[in-house]
């Protein structure tokens, strides 16, 4: 599965590392942090998929983003529940997501109106632990998103980057 992801700054990774001891009761804890902007699907011809993504991003500006708190999905559409995450507010990233949905179509239940910008921290485990974590207050983290990654989910590696404005 290929996707367009948003790399997160060191301050967000540091916050995730600070929260790590509180996440150990969950079934899976993320160690690499970025967030998924749009699933693109599988590809027989990766170069063509990548070109399509780059064309869809043409004219996209650099945008502001802000981690605002900790939240969780009690019943995610995929995978084990709950999913604990850092909530991200960014009207600019939501607009870019909408442009990519126009170009590639939406994944029902995960994108378009159902899209929630976030950085996953952990999944599986006790719902009450997720609720407790969501009550913790954190200092908001603001940053400018000046690039996006074309990401290969099979190898969990970025393939290329697109600078914004594109």
pLDDT digits (tens, 9 = 90+) for 93-116: 999 999 999 999 999 989 999 999
Phi, psi of 91 (to 5 degrees): -55, -35
Low-confidence ranges of the chain (pLDDT < 70): none
134: CATH: 3.90.1140.10
The pLDDT value recorded for residue 43 is: 79
> Which domain does 49 fall in, by range?
2-163
The pLDDT value recorded for residue 45 is: 84
The pLDDT value recorded for residue 93 is: 98
Judge whether 10 and 133 are in contact, CB under 8 Å. no
pLDDT tens across 19-35, in order? 999 999 999 999 989 89
Alpha carbon distance 139, 128 (integer Å): 23
Which contacts of 16-20 are long-range, i.e. CB under 8 A and separated by 24 or more positions? 16/86, 16/119, 16/121, 19/70, 19/121, 19/133
The pLDDT value recorded for residue 9 is: 97
Judge whether 37 and 96 are in contact, CB under 8 Å. yes
Q: How many domains does the chain have?
A: 1
The pLDDT value recorded for residue 64 is: 98
């Amino acid at each position: 599965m290929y996707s367009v992801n948003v790399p997160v700054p060191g301050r967000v990774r540091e916050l995730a590392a600070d929260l790590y001891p509180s996440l150990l009761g969950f079934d899976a804890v993320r160690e690499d942090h970025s967030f998924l902007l749009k699933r693109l699907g599988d590809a027989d011809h990766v170069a063509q998929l990548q070109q399509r993504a780059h064309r869809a991003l043409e004219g996209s500006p650099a945008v502001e983003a802000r981690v605002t708190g900790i939240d969780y999905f009690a019943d995610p559409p995929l995978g084990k529940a709950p999913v604990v995450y850092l909530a991200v507010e960014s009207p600019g990233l939501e607009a870019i997501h909408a442009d990519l949905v126009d170009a590639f179509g939406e994944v029902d239940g995960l994108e378009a109106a159902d899209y929630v910008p976030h950085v996953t921290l952990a999944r599986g485990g006790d719902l009450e632990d997720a609720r407790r974590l969501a009550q913790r207050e954190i200092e908001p983290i603001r940053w400018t998103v000046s690039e996006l990654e074309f990401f290969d989910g099979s190898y969990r590696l970025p393939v290329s980057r697109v600078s914004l404005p594109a």
